[in-house]
Structure 1
C-alpha cells in the first residue's frame, strides 16, 4: 500500500480527527495563557509552528488547528496565533495555486490540441 491508500482509510482519518481535536482541546485548556504578540514570535517559535503545519499532510489533521495549537503551546496569545497561522498559510496556498494552475494549463493545452487534430480530419 502506498501513502495515498493508507491515508484514505477510515482509521487513518479517525486518528487524524482525534489528533486535531486533542491538540486544540489541550491548547484551549492550558492553565497559563499566552502573552506573546505577533512581533515577539521568535525563530524557534516559528520553526516549531511551521513544523506542525507539516502534520497537515495527514488526512483530517487541520493545518490551521495544528498551527494555532502549536502557537498557543509556545506562549503566543490567541489573536497573534490566529494571525500567524493565517500568514503561515500564504506560501502553502500560493504554491498550491501555482501547481494547480500548471496542471490546468497543461490539460487545456492537451484538450485544445485534441480538438484541433480532430478538426483537421
Structure 2
C-alpha cells in the first residue's frame, strides 16, 4: 500500500464510518474502482480505531459519567438503579452479539462477505429498511396517525431487551454494505426511539466492539507481518481527524433533517454496482488479486 492510497482510504474511512452508508463497503469499492489491492478486513478494523478515538473524545463526558457510575455500582447496590450505571451494563449486553458472531464468522468476513454482489445487495436492502424507519419516525414527529415526538423513546427508557436488539442490529454490520450506524439507527427508529437517541447509543455501542476488533487484528497483523504499518497508521490518523468532524456534523444534522439522502445514495450505489458487474465492467472480486 502506498502513502497516497493510505491517505485516500483513511479519508474514506473517516467520512463514511458514522454515516449510514457503510465504511467497509466504501473502502472495498474505493480499492476496486481505483484498481488497488483490497485493503482487507484487518486494515478496516485497525483504521476504525482512529474513528473510535474520535467517538471517545466527542462523547468523553458521557463515557466518563457512564464508566464512573457503572464502576461505583459494582460495590454500591444503591447506585445500580442509576441510569448511567445501567447504561454501562446495556453497552456490555449490546456488545455480545457482534463479539460472538465476529469470532464465529471471521473467515467469512475476510472472504465471501467481501463479494461485491453481496455488498450491492446489502446497500439496497438496508437502504430501504433505513428509509422505512426514517419515514415512520418523521410521521411521529409531525403528529401523524401514531405517536408525537414527545412519545418517542429516549435512552432513559432503554432496557435489556432493546439493548440486545440494538446489539443484533450492530452485528449485521459484519457484512460490508450494511453499515454499523445504519443498522443500529434503523433498529432504534423501528423500536420507537428518537433519531438522536438511536444515533447516540449506536456510537456508544460501537466503542467496545470496534476497539476489541482493532486490537484483535493488531495482534494477528503483528504476528503475520502482512500489513504495511506506516501507511496503515497514517490512514488511522486521517480517519480520526475526519471522523471527529463528521460526528459533530452528523449529530447536528439528525436533529432537523431526514435520512432520505443517505437512503437514495445507498440504493443508487447498489444499483450501479449491479449494472457494472452485470455488464462485465467490474468483477465481483475486483481488486482482490490486484497488486
TM-score, normalized by length of structure 2? Answer: 0.34
Aligned length: 107
Cα displacement string for residues 53-112 of structure 1 (whole angstroms, at most 9, x for unaligned residues): 11111121101100001001111111111100001101111112211231344356xxxx
Query: Residue 32 of structure 1 corresponds to which residue in structure 2?
Result: 140
Aligned match for 1:89, one of 206, 227, 246: 206
Superposed displacement of residue 49, structure 1:
1.2
- Name the CA distance, whole Å, in 2 between partners of 1:38 and 1:62: 21
The CA RMSD over aligned residues, in Å, is 2.0
Moved more, 51-60 or 7-16: 7-16
- Name the CA distance, whole Å, in 1 between partners of 2:173 and 2:207: 15
Cα displacement string for residues 7-32 of structure 1 (whole angstroms, at most 9, x for unaligned residues): 23332111110122112101110133
Aligned match for 1:55, one of 172, 180, 184: 172
- Name the CA distance, whole Å, in 1 between partners of 2:206 and 2:161: 18
Unpaired stretches in structure 2, ≥5 consecutive residues: 1-106, 142-148, 226-291
Superposed displacement of residue 51, structure 1:
0.5
Query: Residue 118 of structure 1 corresponds to which residue in structure 2?
Result: none
Query: Residue 217 of structure 2 corresponds to which residue in structure 1?
Result: 100
The structure with the largest alpha-carbon Rg is 1
Residue 68 (1) aligns with residue 174 (2): no
The alignment partner of 1:29 has SS state of helix
TM-score, normalized by length of structure 1? Answer: 0.77
Residue 10 (1) aligns with residue 127 (2): no
Superposed displacement of residue 5, structure 1:
4.5
More relative contact order, 1 or 2 (CA 8 Å, 6+ apart): 2
Query: Residue 116 of structure 1 corresponds to which residue in structure 2?
Result: none
The alignment partner of 2:140 has SS state of coil
